[in-house]
Amino acid sequence: MNHPLPEPVIDLRRATASLGARPVLRGVDLTVRTGEVVALLGANGSGKSTAVRSVIGQVPLTGGELALFGTEFRRFRDWARVGYVPQRTTAAGGVPATVREVVTAGRLARTKLGILRKADRAAVHRALELVGMADRAKDSVNALSGGQHQRVLIARALAGEPELLIMDEPMAGVDLASQEVLAAALREQVGRGSTVLLVLHELGPLEPLIDRAVVLRDGCVVHDGPPPEAVGQHALPGHDHVHPHADAAAEPIRTGLLS
Amino acid sequence: MEILDYAFMQRALIAALIVGITAPAIGIYLVQRRQALMGDGIGHVALTGVGLGFLLNTSPVWVATAVAVAGSVVMELIRWYGRTRGDLALAMLFYGGMAGGVMLMNLSDAGSNANLGTYLFGSITTVSPQDMTTIYVLAALVLAITVGLRRQLFAVCQDEEFARVTGLPVRLLNLLVAVTAAVTVTVAMRVVGLLLVSALMVIPVAAAQQISRSFAVTFATAVAIGVAVTVTGTTTSYYVDVPSGATIVLFAIGLFVVFTALAAPLAKKRARDAAQASRGCTLEVPGSRGATDDVSVAG
């Protein structure tokens, strides 16, 4: 990184965190700059989920520093600029809720006292269209497939029109059709200049969008640079060969074969 | 209507109506965050407040409200900080509250076992004009919170982590839900009793969600069911001379059974409508448009 760089949106330095007594992050540096699309890769238990969850304040850091949009984390209040897609469990609570109701919750940060204006309803509709769920707006989220569920959670994050989008394993357990929809939605978002941090198990159909990959192993960064060409097990260290992807204008062949 | 000639029955019906609205209105959030039994726990704790009220010779309703609010805050704190032992801590609170209430009431001069019964199972015809004022004030508060903050509360109860990341004051809103539930418990105490309060918070919601797909419709239907069972239950108890609280709860369970029976044919009809709308199978090609599109070769 020796060329002039835009402002860091996420600036995590020497971060340590533990779950119970087990140290999960052992000095992680992660910088994401305006307009970048960064993938956080690693095997299960490598600390990648914990790293993003610490960025959004859901796992407290035991050491190190974190700044969002140039503001020290403790002072950061501007959450409307951040859209978060949690690792998919379920969008359903104990009471039925429609797709639109769930997505509208993502707009709250942009409203005053939760009162929806015309612009808010329009933003919710746009987010639903972006993930191809506008025609299901009135359906209960309980009636959706896993992939549709995930599309709803992403629409919820997009409804707030965030500058920074943080997604935890958005492609896990998502059918091929939904993966394509999600990749297209993300491409559109990136085209508008959004900054994106993704936790991924493997690059998959999102690969052409990704500027940089950070690979974690045992709570340490073992690779920070262009996305490793091979995915899955081969994304692990020892395989982090640099490939000439940066100047390749041609879109890589997407096989659609994920696993 | 003869029933309306008596002032005590007028008060009883108004109190019943208010409880029918407020209990499901807060109950829906408890059900949404899968804490359906929280109202029951608060009811147990409130009994200590009732006992304390008798012992101190002050209004049992206000002391019960204060103790129930304190109890609900403690429960919320246990939920935040206690992890593995949370359920046991809650059990202590529930049974401690119950035992404390019985003990305190026994120690007081005014409290007797007969009195205990009216608080445990409700005694709607003994609602006094002063009680009514309390009920109005508390009910207005409950409605202002459950309706006015519905979007925020929905977000928090649906997905707490996401709500935190959107910058909502999640702890404050959770506390508000707990305190509102506590207030509702004491409002409903005279109508259905502390042991049956939770039923009115949960059963109308459970019945409503059998037939609805949205939170908004569930909310409205649950309140309608709440009003229907509290008013008919109270009226029935006047004519047939049965305890109002038990009648109301049994009516609610009856409606739940009816709604559940309606749910299966309704789901079938919806599936049929949906199938009709999509008019048979179309070949779905991932990432492309439907197979019925015009064929064009050019990229």
- Is pLDDT of A44 > 90? no
Q: What percent of chain A has pLDDT over 90?
A: 24
- Shortest CA distance to A103 belongs to which of A134, A146, A61? A134
- Is pLDDT of A222 > 90? no
Q: What percent of chain A has pLDDT over 70?
A: 84
The pLDDT tens digits of the residues spanning A24-34 come to 888 889 999 99
Radius of gyration of chain A (CA): 18
- Shortest CA distance to A82 belongs to which of A104, A63, A103, A57? A57
* Domain limits for position B109: 2-196
pLDDT of A246:
37
* Nearest residue of B to residue A158, measured between CA atoms: B166
Helices (H), chain B: 7-32, 38-55, 60-81, 86-107, 113-121, 129-148, 150-158, 160-165, 170-192, 197-208, 215-240, 244-278
Contacts A–B by Cβ distance under 8 A: 104
Look at A140 and B216 and tell me if their CB atoms are within 8 Å.
no
pLDDT band at A175 (very low <50, low <70, confident <90, very high): confident
Taking the CA of residue A24 and the nearest CA in chain B, the distance in Å comes to 20
Tokens for A194, please give them: 């959004």
* Nearest residue of B to residue A105, measured between CA atoms: B155
Picking from A79, A97, A176, the nearest residue to B166 by CB comes out as: A79
The answer as to whether B95 is a domain residue is: yes
A104 chain-B contacts, CB cut-off 8 A: 151
B82 burial type by CB count under 10 A (0-12 exposed, 13-18 middle, 19+ buried): middle
The mean pLDDT value for A95-117 works out to 88
Q: Tell me how crowded residue B2 is: count the other CB atoms within 10 A of its CB.
A: 8
The mean pLDDT value for A209-233 works out to 80
The answer as to whether B246 is a domain residue is: no
Cα dihedral A123→A126→A131→A137 (10° resolution) = 80
Backbone phi and psi for residue A32, each to the nearest 5 degrees, phi listed first: -125, 125
pLDDT of B70:
93
- Which residues touch B90 (CB under 8 Å, ≥6 apart)? B41, B75, B78
pLDDT band at A4 (very low <50, low <70, confident <90, very high): low
CA B54/CA B115 separation, integer angstroms: 10
- Is pLDDT of A178 > 50? yes
The answer as to whether B9 is a domain residue is: yes
Look at B151 and A98 and tell me if their CB atoms are within 8 Å.
no
DSSP for residue B285:
P
pLDDT of A66:
92
The answer as to whether B24 is a domain residue is: yes
Query: What type of residue sits at position B159?
Result: D
pLDDT of B294:
46
Q: CB under 8 Å, gap of 24 or more: what pairs does A211-214 form?
A: A211/A36, A211/A37, A211/A38, A212/A36, A212/A37, A212/A38, A212/A39, A213/A38, A213/A39, A213/A40, A213/A41, A214/A30, A214/A38, A214/A39, A214/A40, A214/A41
CA B272 and chain centroid, separation: 34
Taking the CA of residue A219 and the nearest CA in chain B, the distance in Å comes to 23
The pLDDT tens digits of the residues spanning A151-172 come to 899 999 999 999 999 998 888 7
Tokens for B139, please give them: 């009910």
Contact A199, A189 (CB under 8 A): no
CA A57/CA A195 separation, integer angstroms: 18
pLDDT of A195:
93
- Is pLDDT of A78 > 70? yes
Contact A147, A88 (CB under 8 A): no
The mean pLDDT value for A211-220 works out to 89
Helix or strand (DSSP H, E) at A100: helix A99-105
pLDDT of B279:
55
pLDDT of B83:
59
pLDDT of B92:
84
Look at A96 and B215 and tell me if their CB atoms are within 8 Å.
yes
Tokens 């997604």 map to which residue? A167
Taking the CA of residue A138 and the nearest CA in chain B, the distance in Å comes to 8
What is the longest distance spanned by two Cα atoms in chain B? 93
Question: What single string gives the DSSP state of each residue in B200-223?
Answer: HHHHHHHHHTTT-SSHHHHHHHHH
Tokens 């445990």 map to which residue? B120
CATH code at A8-235: 3.40.50.300
CB burial readout A47-59, b (16+ within 10 A) else e: bbbbbbbbbbbbb
The pLDDT tens digits of the residues spanning B116-169 come to 888 888 888 778 888 888 889 989 999 999 999 999 999 999 888 899 898 899
Helix or strand (DSSP H, E) at A166: strand A164-168
pLDDT of A127:
93
Cα dihedral B159→B163→B164→B169 (10° resolution) = -120
- Is pLDDT of A200 > 60? yes
- Shortest CA distance to B30 belongs to which of B212, B250, B225, B182? B182
Q: What is the pTM of this model?
A: 0.84
Domains held by chain B: number: 1
What's the whole-number average pLDDT of chain A? 82
Mutate to test the interface with A, among B28, B38, B153, B213 (most CBs of A within 10 A): B213
Helix pair B129-148, B60-81: axis angle to 10 deg: 30
* pLDDT averaged per 10 residues, chain B (length 299): 82 92 95 87 90 84 89 85 68 88 84 75 82 88 94 92 89 92 88 88 95 94 96 92 90 95 84 67 48 45
CATH number where B159 lies = 1.10.3470.10
CA A142/CA B124 separation, integer angstroms: 39
The mean pLDDT value for A8-21 works out to 87
Contact B195, B121 (CB under 8 A): yes
Picking from A78, A86, A98, the nearest residue to B162 by CB comes out as: A86
The answer as to whether B59 is a domain residue is: yes
ipTM: 0.82
The pLDDT tens digits of the residues spanning B88-106 come to 777 888 899 999 998 888 8
CA A56/CA A79 separation, integer angstroms: 9
Q: CB under 8 Å, gap of 24 or more: what pairs does B239-246 form?
A: B239/B3, B243/B121, B243/B122, B244/B12, B244/B16, B244/B122, B244/B123, B244/B124, B244/B125, B244/B191, B244/B192, B245/B121, B245/B122, B245/B124, B245/B191, B245/B192, B245/B193, B245/B196, B246/B121, B246/B196
Tokens 């059900």 map to which residue? B31
Helix or strand (DSSP H, E) at A29: strand A22-33
Look at B151 and A84 and tell me if their CB atoms are within 8 Å.
no
Contact B257, B55 (CB under 8 A): no
Contact B64, B197 (CB under 8 A): no
The three-point CA angle A16-A11-A183 to 5° equals 105
What is the longest distance spanned by two Cα atoms in chain A? 53
Mutate to test the interface with B, among A53, A85, A95, A152 (most CBs of B within 10 A): A95
Taking the CA of residue A190 and the nearest CA in chain B, the distance in Å comes to 19
Half-sphere exposure of B276 (CA within 13 A, CB side): 6
Look at A93 and B34 and tell me if their CB atoms are within 8 Å.
yes
Picking from A78, A108, A160, the nearest residue to B151 by CB comes out as: A108
- Give yes or no for A254 touching B (CB within 8 A): no
A211 burial type by CB count under 10 A (0-12 exposed, 13-18 middle, 19+ buried): middle
